Every structure is written in C-alpha cells, then in structure tokens.
Chain A
C-alpha cells in the first residue's frame, strides 16, 4: 500500500500543495494565489485532496513550510523552514544542484546544497528589494500583468538602467522614465537587471557553484532568469514545478519523517 505525504508551502503571496506517493511520485498539486493569513492555505489543501480523491486521514504525514507554516499547527504533523524545503525540492528535481536561488514574494534566499542537504544559506533583510513584491509594484506602475513581464522585457531594444534597489526609489525611477516617454519594454528589462544585480550580490556572499537552480514564483519570469544568468556567469536551471518547489521539499521531508518514525517503532 502506498504511503501518501502532503507538503504545504504557505508563502506570503501564494499557497501551494504537493501530494506524493512513496516519496517519489507526484499524485496531485494545487496553487492558490493568496498566501499566509488568507483562505488560500485551506483552499489549496481542499483542492489537492479533491484532485487526488483523498482525505486527511489518507495522508501518512503532513508537513507545512513557508512564511505561514505555523498557522497549520492543528492540521499539519510538523513544520520546517522553507529554506530547507527549497533545498530539498531542488535536489529532488536537479540531483546535481549545488546552489539554489529562491525568489519568493517577500524575500530572497540563496542556499548551498551538498549531497542534497542544505549546508549554508543567505537571506535578504527586511527590505523588499529584488523580491516578487518588487516586481508586483513595478508591474502595477507600468500597468502590465506581472506574468507578462518576461515576454515584454525580451522585446527590449535599449538598455535603461534602474539604479535603485530600494522598491520605493526604484518606483520613482520607473515613473520618471515613463514620464520621459521611455518604452515600457526597455524599462522592464532594466527592472530585471536590477533584480538580478541585487540577487547576485546576495548569492556571491556564499559563492556560486554549479549547478545553479532557481526556484520560487519569480523563476517563471524568463527576463529575470536571463538577467541572473548574465549577472552570475553561470547557467541557471528552472523547472516547470518551480512555484511548487517548497511544497515538494516539504512533501519529501514528510516522507522521510514518516519513515523515520515508523522505523523507530
């Protein structure tokens, strides 16, 4: 009989679930575009259980991660930091990974992974610079959907520097460029370079080693991934499951913990 484990990643801007069978096969996944403190986590849980045709009782172990991981104390069996889970998920998808860069809704994390285990990490401070929130703010000012930033930035023909890493000052810079009539696509490209510069600075603090894997929602933005590759001078790998990576790591840890508890008995 299969062992089902559930990983729930409650981020600041989205809630994601991954259900695994025997710690290997993805049975179901769900994503709701609101995170901690909203109905998102419960909706994501309901959705993943429904998709798999399972109930809470079918889950051998549930592990929560992400900014809102402590809010599921009654539902989940345990919780872990999203850094450990992102490292775990990335090592599952890319066994050769040594550096994981996770750009989430409100923070940036760079992790060193050795033999599938996180051995060092760096996080940004309280500042929102270089995070998904930074891109949300810029997209709003530019009146474009955040999902379209990558495609639009790719059409840029001219370099426009956005020198500020501070979200508030960068917003002023973007408004200034718009008032000068600068092409939005060039501004977007400049924003991607700005994010990449900020993240690369953080990544260099622990050193870049191949393979480099980028996870989190912002990894879906091809403009940021490309700019980051240039800034780091290393190929940056992403996965279609990038936004689910933390939940995947949580489901993998859940399986490990279940097996350990079972073995101990």
Chain B
C-alpha cells in the first residue's frame, strides 16, 4: 500500500474516533475510555476489551461540563467530561481515570459523580514515589484494583498469560511508534506535521494489533525512501498535546518539520516498554517506575534539572534548530517547569517559543505569526 494511502487511512481514523467506537460496538466488543496519563491499557486489552484514549477534543466547546468544573481546569479534562455528558461517549462500557495531576485528581470525582449509575469509573492513583519497593507495591495494588474492575465489566478473568500477550502487543506498537517518530523526522517532505500527528493520534482509537500492522507497513515504506534534502527548518515540539490539524498546518505552510517531540500525547507515552517475562503485574508497575523526564512525575533528582537536559539533548540529537512549546492553558505542572526548561535552552543557545494553547481555540492567527517569525529567526 502506498505511503499516501496509509497516511490518509490514519488521518481518517484520527479525525473520526466515534466511528471507531461504533465499529467496535457493532463487532460486539466492549470499549473502555482511558484518560491521561499512564493508565495500564494492557489490562483492558488482556480483558478482551478495546481501550479508547480520551485526550479532550478539538471540535467541542465546554458547556455541560461547566456544571462540574472549576474554570481553571484544562480543556483536555473539561472536554473529556463534556463528551461524556453530551452523549458523544455513550457507547463506552467503562472509564479509567488516572489522577497524576492536580486537575485530574479532583476531576476523577467529577467523572464519578457525573456518570453515577451510567458508566463505571475506575479510579487509578499512581504513587509519587514510584521507584522504591513500596512504590512498586502501591502501583501493583492500584493496578490490581483496575484489573478487578475491568474483569467485572468484561466478565472475563485476566490471566497472566493474556496479560503477557497484551504487553507484547503494546511493546511492539510502542516500538513501531518510536520508529515512526524518527522516520517522520527524516522524511518531512512525505510526512507533514499534520499527517505525523494523525498517525500518532490514531493509535489511541485503534486496537493496537491493527495500528501496529498498518504502522509497520508505513515504516517499511518510509525506510525505503531515499534521504530527504529538507530545505526548510526543523524543530522539536513539547507540551501536553498538539494534535489540532489547523495549528499543525501552520508548520507545514512555513516548511517547518517536526524532527522529534517531547509531547505527552506523543512520545512521552511510548518511551518505556514493559518486561515480557516474569510477573506481568510487576512488569507494568516497573514500566511506570521507569518513566522519567516527565513534568508530571516526581524526580528525586529534580535539582539537577535532568528533564530540561533531556529535552536539550533530544533537540541536539534530532538535528533540530529550536523548540516550540505548546503551553496548555491552566496546566500548572508545565507552567512551573517552564523556567527550568528555558534556563537549559538558553544555556545551550537553543531558541524557543512558547505558544499558549487550549482545545477550544479555533483561530490560530497569533500562533501563525509567532511560528512564522520563529522560522525567520532560526
């Protein structure tokens, strides 16, 4: 299948997640909504159900959710609730609500209250101290709770064997996505910023075996391409999410390629794999413990500014000339982290811009001006 056909298929799925839910339901599958961040989707898969990533929406406006939410909650969380309240996600059979940030913690209770009697909401509290033995045990206990709730919804027992199979499926998918990120950075003439985003976003709406098969086919095609002599600029993106095609189109219009990313919705979620042997619950807990360089996760060596150094290295390794930071409105962790990131970028002589974004933005005039001007200074 040609690259263009594959990219268009990903784009179609990325833009129409509700069609995916309808398809899964028509096939008799149960679908579990999975909110950010780091929920062990492997458990959903092992229970024979389909996990559906819910990272807000670029098409909805907050209305019903206002009844439950403080105005300073990010639009990602508010629009997730909006879709639960306005009927968009009526076909879900359950919802996993992780609680890593200060918005998602209270929001988990808003989801529970708003969906009472309608949709089982599975509470998931990751530990702050994720690396010590007691942290691993806490994560395992939490995952055990999630596992039990998923078994109730599915009616299936999640066996160790099924979970190990799920881990293998997910590891393979993460590897394919990581390779795609590299290949997309090497071939921006073929994989535009808009198309790149669609491929990565579609992963949240597809059964991972299907996404992997399609993506491995795409990666094979991209690997076979001759090297690209890119005349435009190259940057690295950072932030929680930047999947709005209209915003990303500005990069394509100005011949700015995304060489790599430090975006939660994209690469931060696929950096670490789980062990495919041994106790699979421990493997998932260890996988979470091994996550690093994430604003949302406690770093016992935070005084060393390791995250910012990691991002600087990523920029240098990718051959990018600068960084574009998508600052999600009301995202306290990202805002608080920014001065440290800026310090490291300035010290390394790497130019950057910070763009304030939220998912209700429909006009990107100012962002367009800033991105175009940024290309001029790179």
Q: Please list the residues of chain A having a beta carbon within 8 angstroms of any beta carbon in chain B.
A: 67, 80-84, 107, 118-121, 123, 125-126
Contact = CB atoms under 8 A, between A and B. Distances in A.
A83 B373 contact: yes
26 contacts: A67-B369, A80-B372, A80-B376, A81-B369, A81-B370, A81-B376, A83-B370, A83-B373, A83-B376, A84-B372, A84-B373, A84-B376, A107-B366, A107-B369, A118-B373, A118-B377, A119-B377, A120-B351, A121-B370, A121-B374, A121-B377, A123-B369, A123-B370, A125-B356, A126-B356, A126-B366
A121 B356 contact: no
A120 B372 CA distance: 13
Nearest to A118: B377
A107 B369 CA distance: 11
B366 A123 contact: yes
A126 B365 CA distance: 10
Interface string B226-267: 000000000000000000000000000000000000000000
Contacts of A84: 372-373, 376
Contacts of B370: 81, 83, 121, 123
Interface in B23-74: none
Contacts of B365: 67
A261 to B, nearest CB: 16
B interface SS class: helix
Nearest to A68: B365
B373 A81 contact: yes
Contacts of B373: 81, 83-84, 118, 121
Contacts of B377: 118-121
A49 B351 CA distance: 40
A84 B377 CA distance: 9
B372 A81 contact: yes
A82 B365 CA distance: 12
Q: B372, B373, B374: which has the most chain A beta carbons within 10 Å?
A: B373
Contacts of B374: 121
Given A81-B373, A82-B369, A83-B369, 18 more contacts: A67-B369, A80-B372, A81-B369, A81-B370, A81-B372, A81-B376, A83-B376, A84-B373, A84-B376, A107-B366, A118-B377, A119-B377, A121-B370, A121-B373, A121-B374, A121-B377, A123-B370, A126-B366
B231 to A, nearest CB: 14
Identify the 5 closest CB pairs spanning chains A and B, nearest first. A83-B373, A81-B372, A81-B373, A125-B356, A84-B376
B35 to A, nearest CB: 26
Contacts of B356: 125-126
A185 B374 CA distance: 40
A15 B372 CA distance: 20
